A and B are shown apart, each in its own frame.
Chain A
Amino acid sequence: MAVAGDQLTQRGAAQPRVGWAPWRRALWFHYAFWQRTWKGSIVSSFLFPILYLASMGLGVGHLVNEHSGGVQGVSYLDYVAPAMLALTALQVSANETMWPVLASFKWVRSYWTAVSTPVSARDVVVGKIGWVTIHVLMVGSIYTAVLAVFGTLHSPWAILLPLAGALTGFAFAAPIAAFSATQESPQAFPVIYRFAVIPMFLFSGAFYPVSQLPGWLQPVVQVTPLYQGVALCRTLALGQGALAMTCVHIAYLAVLAAVGTVVCIRNFRRRLEV
């Protein structure tokens, strides 16, 4: 998983400069690693969302448009497309902050290497969470461009979609990484995946309005972070929705991200700074 430092130098990755702050070096580590592995990650972070969108948006969308004439005044594809960005943000953050974080503590032990230099546990967290956010921002920018080309965006606010995706990714990455830092084995990860990530993916209003669900389930769905991310992305893409609600979505995600980061730094410190 981890690439040795000299290997990176040999292959001509951009080098950190003298005088860079430690957190910036921690961030650079992930960038350099990504430079080696982005081709592999593009399958799960970019190709699969597009395939899901094609299957649900076009295939199931055909059935929906025929029967109900679209959803909320737009075609089903246009309805699902922005939500898929929030789902991708969840997917990318969860993938990068579960197994890889535990691996960096236990198997590859690269965090221990990092903290034996002037890089602190806090810098490690800033590097990790910062990188995941940047990664989601990059994926989201390409994804938004694809949506724009296919004419699924209805509002100029859609230009902010990558930022909304990045905020959603940040809001997931921080608390999940905080949790992973407390784990000794990967046993809990598949359970989180199956009982938190996948249900959120399926029930958070990405594929249909929450009003389609039974009444008791609706408030449960509305307090999940993914619902907030989906609603935010959809508001920006379709230009529908009240300003007050949009502020609530942003505030919810920002608070989750901030609290998550604080807890994450605490947990990393506990484990790394004995």
Chain B
Amino acid sequence: MAVAATLRILPSGGFGTRRALRMVERNVMIYRKGWPYLVSGFFEPLFYLLSLGIGLNHLVGSVTVGAQTVTYAAFVAPGLLATSAMNGATIDATFTVFQRLKIEHAYDSVLATPLTVQDIALGELTWCVFRGALYSASFLVCMAALGDAASPWVILCLPVAILTSLAFACAGMAGCTYLRSWQDFDLVSLALVPMFLFSGTFFPISLYPTGIQVVVRATPLYQAVALSRGCSLGVFDWAMVGHAAYLVVMAVTGLLITSTRFRRLLTP
């Protein structure tokens, strides 16, 4: 849904043909064999939630967000939800796409069929978003089951997670077209790990000095965490419109760069 909405704003023709679904189908067929790998990705954020939610809950006590005071588990859960969307979408958008683009040259074979470069980009993107959404939706169910969802608005976390997946998948794919070798993937983790650790996932950013707060507020994951946490706790403010707009702009920019780069790399 979100993909289709984003694509409608794009000027370039030929985007969004139904042939892109063939790329999605290709992924489905691949993961039909590797499904344990697909499923296992869901457990990482759940392990984090169980470990920190149970182990640190008593040691941390409660955390204050806006006017609300919540348990540490309820505080950290929406943050982990946002990171699971980020990781789920980024893994396929970078590692898998890089493998197919530069190692296996799978896309060159795809181009020998009626599919176009845009179909490839769109199809892979849809799959990445699906993967991010899959992880987020299942995490959301666990979160609710563990009682870590503080308000009924938590249901809004799902569209937030899909938007997050979309933004990170677009940006990740755009980024991975510039990578030269597997060694360059250090740069990907160098971007993801500090964001994971410092974007307000594990503790409120009010603990930082003002200068660092400005930097953290500029990171994409912070937008996702803030949106997700706001929905989960039922604390809404106008800044959330800004967070959402940030992610939409990130998705559109990433998509434009991806399609330009794919065209340059794949067509002679």
Contacts and interface: CB of A to CB of B under 8 A. Distances in A.
A187 B37 contact: yes
Interface string B27-45: 0000000101100110110
Contacts of A59: 198, 202-203, 207
A191 to B, nearest CB: 6
B48 A202 contact: yes
A191 B40 contact: yes
Contacts of B59: 64, 67-68, 71, 76, 208, 212
Interface stretch (A48-56, A161-169, A224-232): A48-56
B186 A68 contact: no
Contact of B56 (A62, A64, A187, A203): A64
Given A71-B59, A207-B52, A194 B44 contact: yes
A247 interface: no
B194 A51 contact: yes
Residue from B34, B59, B183 having most chain A Cβ neighbours under 10 A: B59
Nearest to A42: B186
Nearest to B207: A62
A207 to B, nearest CB: 6
Interface string A40-52: 1001100010011
Nearest to B57: A212
Contacts of B203: 55, 59-60, 62-63
Residue from A40, A59, A191, A203 having most chain B Cβ neighbours under 10 A: A59
B55 interface: yes
A274 to B, nearest CB: 30
B37 A60 contact: no
B47 interface: yes
A100 to B, nearest CB: 12
Contacts of A198: 43-44, 47
A51 B52 CA distance: 17
Contacts of B194: 51
B54 interface: yes
Contact of B60 (A51, A67, A202): A67
B40 A208 contact: no
A239 interface: no
A134 B41 CA distance: 32
B145 interface: no
Contacts of A71: 59
Given A40-B186, A55-B198, A207-B56, A187 B72 contact: no
Contact of A202 (B51, B58, B189, B207): B51
A214 interface: yes
A59 B201 CA distance: 10
A213 interface: yes
B58 A194 contact: no
B10 interface: no
Contact of B202 (A56, A67, A187, A190): A56
A141 B202 CA distance: 28
Contacts of B152: none
Contact of B43 (A62, A195, A207): A195
A212 B58 contact: yes
B61 to A, nearest CB: 4
Contacts of B51: 202-203, 207
B193 interface: yes
Residue from A51, A63, A212 having most chain B Cβ neighbours under 10 A: A63
Interface string A228-248: 000000000000000000000
A67 B61 contact: yes
A44 B183 CA distance: 12
A55 B202 contact: yes
A16 interface: no
Contacts of A60: 56, 60, 202-203
A195 B40 CA distance: 8
Nearest to B34: A187
B67 interface: no
28 contacts: A40-B183, A43-B186, A44-B189, A51-B197, A51-B198, A52-B197, A54-B198, A55-B198, A56-B202, A63-B72, A63-B203, A68-B58, A191-B36, A191-B40, A195-B40, A195-B43, A198-B43, A202-B47, A202-B48, A203-B51, A203-B55, A207-B52, A208-B55, A208-B59, A212-B56, A212-B58, A212-B59, A213-B54
Given A195-B40, A208-B56, 10 more contacts: A43-B190, A52-B197, A55-B197, A59-B207, A60-B202, A187-B34, A187-B37, A191-B37, A198-B47, A208-B55
